[in-house]
Amino acid sequence: MSEVFSFGSYYPGESLLHRLDPRTKLLGGVAFLIISLLARDFLALAAIGAFVVALYAIAGVPAGRAARSLAPLLAIVVVVSVLRLFTDHSGPMLFQLGIFSVSEGSLYSCAFTAVRMLFMMCGMSLVTMTTMTLDLTQAVERLLAPFARVGLPAHELGMMLGIALRFMPQFATELQTTYRAQVSRGARVASGPLGSVRMLSSVSIPLFASIFRHAETLSAAMDARCYHGEEGRTRMRPLRYARRDVVAAVALAALALCVVLV
């Protein structure tokens, strides 16, 4: 299953990209998307492509793994670019079939959109491939921190996100056990609307009960370990920008210049 939905799932490594500050990667990813949208012609796209290939090489992610990670999203690329094919009507008409018409311009923009989307996905999936989810939540927390002054509970959001991630696999297991237990007692999904409702409540109520039970002990356990909000709290691995983050920023700026100037 994990092999199918592997878009951007973490690829362990120790490369420069892996060690980059997660905030840099998150912001860099967004900047990369904007730069890609600024590209006007294939020359600019070539620069972006070269950049992406270089990054994958630095990260040490094998091509096969990268391709497998993108495969599930190719459908979106195809749909969007085919839509472009039929909506753009610039340039000389090539052929027409009923309401569908294809022109030189539409062919061009179709290819252009497809390549651009592919690069954008490659770039974004690289962010999550080289960053652990936990670091991402910390990055989100720190990036939102300035908004804490206007009342946004940045620390609490980060903490909640982290705990939710930690409990996700556990609830998945519990849900499966409960489902199997109720199936053992003859519950069936396909036994009419009444049966389905019964089935749903017989699985969801134990899950909620379990969530409350876990939450109660978890909060006591956090209390017992002196948790009292963000105040006075330190981090074992505080996020610190290093020289490599500057290098990354410079590289992105160079790319932006390339794309805009050509």
Partner 1 sequence: MIEIDHLRYTYDGAAWALDDVSLRIADGEFVCLLGGNGSGKSTLAKHLNALLVPDEGRVMVDGLNTADPEFVYDIRSSVGYVFQNPDDQLVATLVEDDVAFGPENLGVAPDDIAVAVRDALREVGLTDFERHETHALSGGQKQRVAIAGVLAMRPRVLVLDEASAMLDPRGRAGLMRVCRELHDAGMTIVMITHYMEEAALADRVVVLDAGKIALEGTPADVLARAAELERLNLEVPPSCRLGLALQRRGVPIAAYVDERDAVHAIERLVSGEAAQPARPDAPSQAAVAASGEPLISFDHVSFSYETSARERSRRRRKKHAKKRAAWGSDPEAVWALHNVDLTVHRGEFLGIAGHTGSGKSTLIQHMNGLVHPTMGRVSVRGSNLADKHASAQAKTLVGLVFQYPEHQLFANTVYEDVAFGPRNLGLSADEVDERVHEALAFVGLRFDEVAQKSPFALSGGQQRRCAFAGVLAMRPEVLVLDEPAAGLDPAARRDFLGLIARLHSQGLTVVMVSHSMDDLAELCDRVVVMNEGGVLMDGTPCEVFCRADELRRVGLGLPAAQRMAGALRADGLPLAADRLYTIESLADELARLAGEETR
Min dist. Cβ of residue 2 to partner 1 (A): 11
Q: Does 235 bind partner 1 (CB under 8 A)?
A: yes
Long-range CB pairs of 109-114 (<8 Å, 24+ gap) are 109/84, 109/85, 110/81, 110/82, 110/84, 110/85, 111/81, 112/41, 112/42, 112/45, 113/80, 113/81, 113/84, 114/77, 114/78, 114/80, 114/81
Q: Does 101 bind partner 1 (CB under 8 A)?
A: no
Residues 179-218 binding partner 1 (CB under 8 A) are 180-188, 191, 195, 198, 201-203, 205-206, 209-210, 213-214, 217-218
Q: Which is nearer to partner 1, 104 or 223 (CB)?
A: 223
Min dist. Cβ of residue 245 to partner 1 (A): 18
Contact 11, 61 (CB under 8 A): yes
- Residue 95 backbone dihedrals phi, psi, to 5 degrees: -155, 165
Which range binds partner 1 by CB under 8 A, 30-38, 45-53, 67-75, 222-230?
Answer: 222-230
Q: Which is nearer to partner 1, 106 or 128 (CB)?
A: 128
Tokens of 185: 């007692």
Q: Which is nearer to partner 1, 226 or 261 (CB)?
A: 226
Q: Which is nearer to partner 1, 115 or 187 (CB)?
A: 187
Which range binds partner 1 by CB under 8 A, 40-48, 57-65, 226-234, 247-255?
Answer: 226-234
Which range binds partner 1 by CB under 8 A, 20-28, 39-47, 97-105, 232-240?
Answer: 232-240
Q: Does 64 bind partner 1 (CB under 8 A)?
A: no
Min dist. Cβ of residue 12 to partner 1 (A): 9
Residues 118-177 binding partner 1 (CB under 8 A) are 132-134, 162-163, 165-166, 169-170, 174, 177
Distances (CA, A) of 187 to 202, 208, 209: 9, 19, 20
Interface pick for partner 1 out of 92, 98, 151, 232 (rule CB under 8 A)? 232
Interface pick for partner 1 out of 43, 78, 221, 253 (rule CB under 8 A)? 221
Which distant-in-sequence residues (6+ apart) come within 8 Å of 131 by Cβ?
A: 10, 18, 22, 25, 26, 139
Q: Over 160-196, what HEC string results?
A: HHHHHHHHHHHHHHHHHHHHHHHHHCCCCCCCHHHHH
- What CA–CA distance (Å, rounded) separates 87 from 106? 7
- The 10 Å Cβ neighbour count of residue 54 is 11
Q: Does 13 bind partner 1 (CB under 8 A)?
A: no
- What CA–CA distance (Å, rounded) separates 244 from 181? 52
- What CA–CA distance (Å, rounded) separates 252 from 25? 11
Which spans of this chain sit near partner 1 (rule: CB under 8 A)? Answer: 3, 132-134, 162-163, 165-166, 169-170, 174, 177-178, 180-188, 191, 195, 198, 201-203, 205-206, 209-210, 213-214, 217-218, 220-228, 232-238
